[in-house]
Structure 1
Amino acid sequence: MNKTKKALKLVSDVFGVVAALFLAFLMFGITADVVARALTGDPISGVFEMSELSLVMIVFLGAMWGQQDRAHIRVNILSTRLSGLPHRIAMGFAWGCGALALLMLAWPATQEAIYSISIWEFRWGYIQVPIWWTKAGLALGLWFAAMQMAVHAIAALVEDEPETTTTGPATEA
């Protein structure tokens, strides 16, 4: 289990860095586009289209990174009142449902990515932008996030994790 967790952490970190690079593009690309529009009246070709694709990559590649630190929004009104076996069962069930939901999204996303790659799909805007790679990234992000949640479900059943009751970022006492 530890090797699986380490492998998923490595994938999560790589996906997180890629998502951060797309975020950097959003910040600097859109800023440059706004400046160019103000100075010349014309946008930088392709920035709008790449911004759309960057948002997809940030969400679906960054999901694992957020999950790794339990940074996603969680409703824990029940789980904070449980301990021991009932807590482990509730957490395992919750993570398992999350994994199942991601799997239900990953399968059709994979089918769409395969089709998109087979036709080298692109989208028109100011310029022609290939989007097949984004669909592949979306599918990969969903599959790995589903695996990560499934591992969390198994780990929750085996080892009881303490619940944090803070409303902000997790802190250690």
Structure 2
Amino acid sequence: MLARLNRLFDGLARITSWVALGFLAFMMVAITVDVVARATFGRAVPGLFEMTEMSMVMVVFMGLGATLLDDGHIRVTMMTDALPGPFSRGCTALAWLFAALTFLMLAWPATQEAAYSFSIREFRWGYFQVPIWWAKIAVAAGLWFAALQAALHSLRIALKQIELPHIDSLRSGPGDKPLQ
């Protein structure tokens, strides 16, 4: 059951990472075009600043899932490295659970803000109107996905479905079982 759910989350993370990559590519091209336009014509491309802002939001919040796939979330492991195997695994699982709760605490108000923004079809004035409600929905979706992904990761660590090299290869305590 958890393995199937993990495969589903991995697939979703790959999809959201491609979305983030698409927005990153757009930002690179757009900024290059803007620099050339400023150098050539002395003027910026109208509306590009606002579109780049929305793209940055998409890069960050759609990239959260891929960060877990690459084991790229920043964490400090001094304490867990010093603990015996079972305690280290338990503390690591607990840390991921706290990460899930943190994402959840961010996702809830982001969802409320996204719902309100969508209800009024919120936009931002710049050179022209840029709708921002869709980016707020993406922020909320990215945070909910990160919360679910971190909770699943915590559970899989606790159930020893994920190998933790600093724990599993160095020590073996009486409560440790081999990975399956």
How many residue pairs are counted as aligned between the two chains?
A: 165
Q: Is the 8 A contact 1:88 1:158 kept in 2?
A: no
Identity among equivalent positions (%) equals 47
In 2, the alpha carbon distance for the partners of 1:5 and 1:91 equals 18
Aligned residue for 1:43, secondary structure, equals coil
**TM-fit CA distance, 1:78:** 1.4
Q: Which residue of 2 aligns with 1:169?
A: none
Q: Which residue of 1 aligns with 2:102?
A: 101
Residue 89 of structure 1 pairs with residue 90 of structure 2? yes
Aligned residue for 2:77, secondary structure, equals coil
Larger Rg: 2
TM-score, length basis structure 2: 0.88
**Greater shift after overlay, 34-43 or 139-148?**
34-43
Q: Which residue of 2 aligns with 1:162?
A: 164
Q: Is the 8 A contact 1:80 1:163 kept in 2?
A: no
**TM-fit CA distance, 1:80:** 1.9
In 2, the alpha carbon distance for the partners of 1:106 and 1:143 equals 6
Q: Which residue of 2 aligns with 1:79?
A: 80
TM-score, length basis structure 1: 0.91
- Give the 5 Å matches for 1:117-156: 117-156=118-157
In 2, the alpha carbon distance for the partners of 1:86 and 1:108 equals 34
Q: Deviations over 1:55-74 (max 9, x none)?
A: 11111110110111111222
Aligned residue for 2:164, secondary structure, equals coil
Residue 17 of structure 1 pairs with residue 53 of structure 2? no
In 1, the alpha carbon distance for the partners of 2:46 and 2:81 equals 51
**Greater shift after overlay, 53-62 or 72-81?**
72-81
CA-atom RMSD in angstroms = 1.4
Q: Deviations over 1:85-143 (max 9, x none)?
A: 21221011100000000000000000000011111100001111000000000000000
